[in-house]
Amino acid sequence: MDIQNAVVALGALAQETRLQVFRLLVQAGEEGLAVGRIAELLGTEPNGRLSFHLKELANAGLATSRQAGRFVYYSAHYPAMNELLAYLTEQCCGGQPCGEPVPVCQPQPANSSSIV
C-alpha cells in the first residue's frame, strides 16, 4: 500500500458512522451484511445517508458490495484492511521488540458471527 491509498482508507474510517459500519462488516465475515441489517444494528434507517457511508467505504477499497435478489450486501475487503494494518505497522519500533505481536485476524463465516 502506498501513502495515497493509506490516506484515502484512513479518511474513510475517520468518520463515526463509517467506522461503526466497517467494524460491523469486519465482524460479519466474508458473507457480509445486507444494508437493512446494517441499519438495524446501527439503530438507523436504511436511507441515502447510510448508502453514502457504505459507498465511501467501497470507494476507499475497504468494502465490497454484491446484489442478491433485491438486497445489497456489503462485506469488509480483508486484503485491503490487512494491507492498511501492515502499512501502519511497517518497521514498527525500528525493528526492536515492542510488545506482544497482534495476530492477523481471519474472517469468520457469517454463521459463526455473533451479530448476524
- Give a yes or no: residue 58 inside a domain: yes
What is the total count of domains within the chain?
A: 1
- Give a yes or no: residue 96 inside a domain: no
State the amino acid at position 43 in one-letter form.
G
- Give a yes or no: residue 81 inside a domain: yes
The CA distance from 99 to 93, in Å, is 10
pLDDT of residue 111: 53
Decide: 9 and 84 in contact? Cβ < 8 Å: yes
- Give a yes or no: residue 70 inside a domain: yes
For the stretch 44-99, pLDDT in tens is 998 899 999 999 999 999 999 999 999 999 999 999 999 999 999 888 877 777 76
Pick from 77, 70, 13, 11: nearest CA to 46:
70
Full residue range of the structural domain in which residue 24 is found: 3-87
The CA distance from 80 to 2, in Å, is 12
- Give a yes or no: residue 107 inside a domain: no
Cell of 98: 515492542
